Structure 1
C-alpha cells in the first residue's frame, strides 16, 4: 500500500507525518513476528504449530525462499504449494533456525541427524501411524539415508540437497521390510543414488514428490530383499523428476500399484518403468526428452510385467502416455502384457515411438492416439521368448512415421488407423 492509500473504512491521515506512520507499521510487523515466535515456542507437543513470522526458517518468507530455490514445475508436475506442507497434527518435528536444527533430543547443524532424532522419538513398536514434520532445507550425503520404520508419516517442508557420492541402496528416504509408510511432501536436488528407495514394503503412499536432480535414479520400489513376497498396495499421487541419469520411477515385484501422474524432463532412462508388476493403474505419464539416445521409453513394461500365473489377463491400465522427443514413447518387452493404454500422444522420438516385442494381450490407444515421426510403430519378437500375440492397435493417427510388423505376430489386430505420409508393412 502506498503512503497515501488507505484501507476501506480507514479515516484519512494525510496530515500525520509519514515518518510516524512508518514507525507504526514497523512496530506492527515486529509485534506480529513476536507473536509468531511465541506461538512457535508454546505450542503443545503434537499440536500443529502456527507459522506467522519468519522465525526458525519456517515463516512465509522462509517458505517462499525454499520454494524459490526449487524452480517452478511445469503444468502437471508434482510441486505443491508450500503452505500445504506441514499443516495438521504431528507427533514430532525437526526445525531449522538459522544454521541450527532442533529435534527431540538433538540440536546441531546436521539435517539428517535432526530428521533421525525426530523419527526415533516416535512410539517404539507402534501399530498406528505417527507423523514427523521437517521444516527447513539442508543437505545430506549420497552415502547416507533416513530409514523409516513401519507406521511412519514423513512430511518434508523444504529441500534435501544430496551431495558427494555413495554406493549401494542409499537414499535420502529409505525403508525395507516395513509397512504403512507415507511420504506426504518431498523435494530432492543433487545426485542421489536413489531419491526414494523402498524395498519389500506394504501400504506405501507417496504424495507430492519433486526431484530436480543432476544424476541418479528418482524412485525405486521393489521386493528384492525377499522375492517370494511382492511389495503390495503402493500409491503414488504426483511425481516430477528432471535430470536423473537413470529411471525417474521404477517398480519391480509389486502387486497393487496406483499412480496419478509421473512427469519427467530430461531423464536418462525411462519415465515410468514397471518390471514384474501386476494389478497396476496409471493415470498419466508425461515425458519430454526422456531416454534420449537409448532404447528406454516414457512408459516401459518389462520382465514379465502384467503376467499373472502363466497368463496375461488385463491388469495393467494406463490412462495416457505423452512423449515428446527422447528415446521411445511406449515399450513393452520380455514377456510382458495384460495391458490397456487408453490414449497416446507421441511425437519426435529418436527411437521407436512404439515397440511391442514379445508381449501378449496389449491394447494400444483403446480410446484415441496420435503418433508423429520420425519414430515408427513396430510389432516385433526375439527368438528367446514366445512370439508376440493378441495385440490390438487402434484409433491412431500416424503422421510422418511407419507401421511395421516383423516377424508376423499371432492375432494382431489393426483397427481405425489413419496414416498420413506414413508407410505400412504388416501381416494383416
Structure 2
C-alpha cells in the first residue's frame, strides 16, 4: 500500500510541474516506472534496470556541458545523491522521492558553473533536498517540494562562496527545517518562495548581498520557534567595511500564523521591504534586533505578536531604521532606543517607542 500511496502522490505532484518539462529533444532522458528504468542518450541506451538512481546517474554521465537531461520517470533514489556537473541542465519531470543522507543533499551541485534546474518535483524526508556551494550562474526554475522532514534548499556556510544565483519559484511544504537557506551569495534573484507548514524559516538570508526577492509567502512557518517567514541574519547585506548601503530588496512578505513574520538579527541590514501583510503570527510580527539600514515601506500587521525593535549587548544597537505600517490588534515597541529610528504607524496599535 505504501508504494501505491507514493506513486499516487508522485503523479499528483508531477502534474503541477510546467508542461514544458522534457519538451523538444533532450540530449538524454530517463523513462520507465518502478522496477524498470531506461536511460538513453543520443539514441543509445546507457542504462536499463530497476535502479532509478543508477538510471539518472548514467544519463547525467552521458551528457556534457551545454546539454540537457530530462527525467520523465518517477521513482525513489533512496539515500543516494544526484550530482550535477558544470554546464548541465537537469529537469525532473516526474517526481523524485528522496531518502536521508546525513550532511548531504539528495540533489547537489558543488564548485560548478552554469548549472540549470528548470523543473523539479521532490518528495520524501531528506537531510537537505538540494545542496550547493561554490556555484556561479546557478539557475533554479519551478521547484516543487512536498516533504515529510528535512530542509529544502541549503547553500553551505563553511564552503566556497557563490555568485549569480537565480530562483524562479520555490514551493516547499512540510520541511522540518528551512524551506530556503542561503549563505555566501553575491548576486541573488528570487521570484517567489512559498512555504507551507515548514518547521523553521521560509527564506533565511545570511551573508548574502545584492539580492532581489519578489514574494516570500508563509503559512504556519516556524511555529513555536524564534524563526520567521523571512529572516535575515549573520551580517546579511553587509558589503564590507561597515557598508550597509541598501542592496537587498524584497517586494512583499506575507505571513500567517506560525512564528515570526519578519526577523532581522545579528548585524544584518542594507535591506528594503516594499510591503508586508502579516497576520496572527505566534511570535513577533516583526523583530529587528541589532540591524542597520532597514526600511519597511508599507503594509499591514493584524494581531499576533508585537512589532519590536530590540538589541543585545554583544552587537551595536539598531540604527537607521524606517518603518511605515498600519498596525492593528497588537503593539509597537522600541526597547532599547535605537539611533536614527523613524516610525510612521497608523491603525489602532498601542505605541511604546522613543
Task: Give the structure with higher Rg (CA).
Answer: 1
Match of 1:404 in 2: 333
Asked whether 1:144 is paired with 2:75, we answer no
Match of 2:89 in 1: 153
Structure 1 consecutive aligned stretches of length 4 or more whose deviation exceeds 4 Å: 64-68
Match of 1:195 in 2: 129
Deviation of the 1:220 alpha carbon? 1.1
Q: Answer yes or no: is the 8 Å Cα contact 1:217–1:244 preserved in 2.
A: yes
Q: What TM-score does the superposition give when structure 2 sets the normalisation length? A: 0.93
Asked whether 1:381 is paired with 2:311, we answer yes
Task: Name the CA shift for 1:383/1:225 in 2 (closer, same or farther; >3 Å).
Answer: same
* Matching residue within 261, 264, 274 for 1:332: 264
Match of 2:13 in 1: 70
Task: Name the CA shift for 1:198/1:292 in 2 (closer, same or farther; >3 Å).
Answer: same
**For 1:115, what is the secondary structure of its paired residue?**
helix
**For 2:94, what is the secondary structure of its paired residue?**
strand
Q: Answer yes or no: is the 8 Å Cα contact 1:223–1:254 preserved in 2.
A: no
Match of 2:68 in 1: 131
* Matching residue within 337, 346, 350 for 1:418: 346
Asked whether 1:390 is paired with 2:320, we answer yes
Structure 1 CA distance for aligned equivalents of residues 182 and 34 of structure 2: 38
* Matching residue within 185, 204, 213 for 2:147: 213
Deviation of the 1:66 alpha carbon? 7.2
Structure 2 CA distance for aligned equivalents of residues 110 and 131 of structure 1: 21
Structure 2 CA distance for aligned equivalents of residues 225 and 98 of structure 1: 36
State the Cα deviation string for residues 377-409 of structure 1 (Å, max 9, x = none).
Answer: 001110000110000011x11011000000000
Give the CA RMSD over aligned residues: 1.6
Deviation of the 1:98 alpha carbon? 6.1
Structure 1 CA distance for aligned equivalents of residues 118 and 199 of structure 2: 26
Deviation of the 1:88 alpha carbon? 2.3
**For 1:253, what is the secondary structure of its paired residue?**
strand
- Corresponding pairs, count: 342
**For 2:198, what is the secondary structure of its paired residue?**
coil
Q: Which runs of no fewer than 5 residues in structure 2 stay unpaired?
A: 1-6, 40-44
Task: Summarize the alignment of residues 197-276 of structure 1 with structure 2, pairs less than 5 Å apart.
Answer: 197-222=131-156, 224-226=158-160, 230-276=161-207
Asked whether 1:107 is paired with 2:36, we answer no
Q: Answer yes or no: is the 8 Å Cα contact 1:94–1:115 preserved in 2.
A: yes
Task: Name the CA shift for 1:373/1:425 in 2 (closer, same or farther; >3 Å).
Answer: same
Q: Which runs of no fewer than 5 residues in structure 1 stay unpaired?
A: 1-63, 73-78
Q: Answer yes or no: is the 8 Å Cα contact 1:96–1:136 preserved in 2.
A: yes
